[in-house]
Structure 1
C-alpha cells in the first residue's frame, strides 16, 4: 500500500531533498510552501522520475490559520497523510532590539506554531489508522542558548523538546516521532541570515546527507539524530556545562556572526 508524506518548506533545501528521497522510496507527496512555481516544477519532476503522485499545496505557514487551511485542503482532495515532515523554518540574526518584531513573530509562527498546529491536524488520523510518523526539523542550535539568534535558537529548543515528549506519548501507539537536529547545511538559510559565517563551525553538510541520516534514524525508530560526528560531539558536550557559562561562550562565538550580518 502506497503511503503519503506531507513536507513543509518543500520548495528548496532540506524540504526539496526530503521530497526527492521519499519519492525514491515510493511515497506519494504533498508539497507545501509559498512558491507555486517551484512546487509545481518539483512535483512534475519527481512524478516523472519515480512514478509517484505529488500534490502541490500553496500556503504561507506564517498565517494564523495556515494548518487549518492545509487540513481542509487535504480533506477536500481526499488525502490522508502517513508521514508529516515539519521542515519549514527560517532564522533571524542580530541584536534583539534591532530585529523587526514582526519578522520574529513570523519566525515563531513558522518554526513553532505551524509545526504544532499541523501535528494537531494530522496526528489524530494517524492514531485512528494505527500507524504514522512525524519528523520535526530542529537544529544543533536547540542544544544551547544562542545569543544574536535568540528567537531562532529558542524555537529549535522547543521543537526538540516537543518532539521528545510526543515520542514518549505515542511510541506504544504506532506513531514514530523523530527530531532531526542538523548543523550547518548548504541551503538558502544563510542567504536569509545574510552571512555564511552563521555556520560557526565553518563546515557545511549537504542536504542529501542530512536527509539520509534523518530517514535512517526514522527507520530505526530513534527519538532524535544529530548528523555528523563533530556536530554530535559539540551538541552533547556543551550542555553539560553550567548554563550561564554555555550562554557566555556562545555569545563570544556568535558576536562575529552578528557583526558580519550587519555589514551584509
Structure 2
C-alpha cells in the first residue's frame, strides 16, 4: 500500500467502519444504504451524488428510531433531552460524512476524510490575533468534516465543511472562524496599508500555507414542523450567520423549501471537490520539472 490513492482509500474505508459502529447513527446509515440500493436498481448512474440531496429526509425519517434507542438506554428528564439534542447534531454530521465517503469511493481522487482537522495540520490551522489591550487570542476552526490530501505538499488543498441542523444558533462559531480566515487570506493590497485596518489592528495570522475552502451545509429544519415549514434560509438571522460563505448547501429536496439563489443542493458539493482537486493538480503539473 504505497501509493497516495491506496493510502487514502484505506483511510476512508476505516473511517466508514468507524461511522458504522456508532449506535445512534446506525438507523441513518441503514436507510441511506437502502436509498443507494434503490437508486441503483432504478438505473440512476450517479446515485451517490443524487442521494446527497436527500439527507434531510433520511435524517428526519429515522428520528423515531433514535428516540427509541435513547428511551431504551434508560435516560430520562434533562439527560434524555440532552441526548436527543446531541444525537441530532452528531447524526447529521455523521450522515453527511458517510454520504461523502460513498461518493468518494466512486472516484479516483485520493482525499482523506475525518470529523476534525487532520492531526498533521491541527496546530497550523488555529488562527491567532491580538485584542485592543494587546492580549493574544486564538480561534480554532469550526470543522465538522474535513477533506485533505496526504501528499506532504505544504500547498495541497484542504476542504472544510461545517454541518449544521440549524443555522439560527449553531452557525456562529463557523461564521466567526470564516471571517478571521477571510481577513488572513485576502489578496487586497490596499486594506493592509490602512492604520486602522482590522488585519493590522488584530495582527491576524495563521501558520498554514494550505489553501482552505470552507463550506457550510444545513439540514434546514429549524421550526420545520411549526412556523417555518419552508425552512430558515430566507431569514435575516440565517443571512447574518452565513453571508461570508461562498459555498452554501442544503440537504433538503422537497418542493416546500424556499432556497435563495446563493444556496445550492448538497448534490452539487462533489463539483466543488473536483474543482479544488483538479485546480491543484493543474498547478502541480505546471511546476513539475521537465523530463
Same fold (TM over 0.5): no
* More helix by percentage: 1
TM-score by length of 2: 0.28
TM-score by length of 1: 0.30
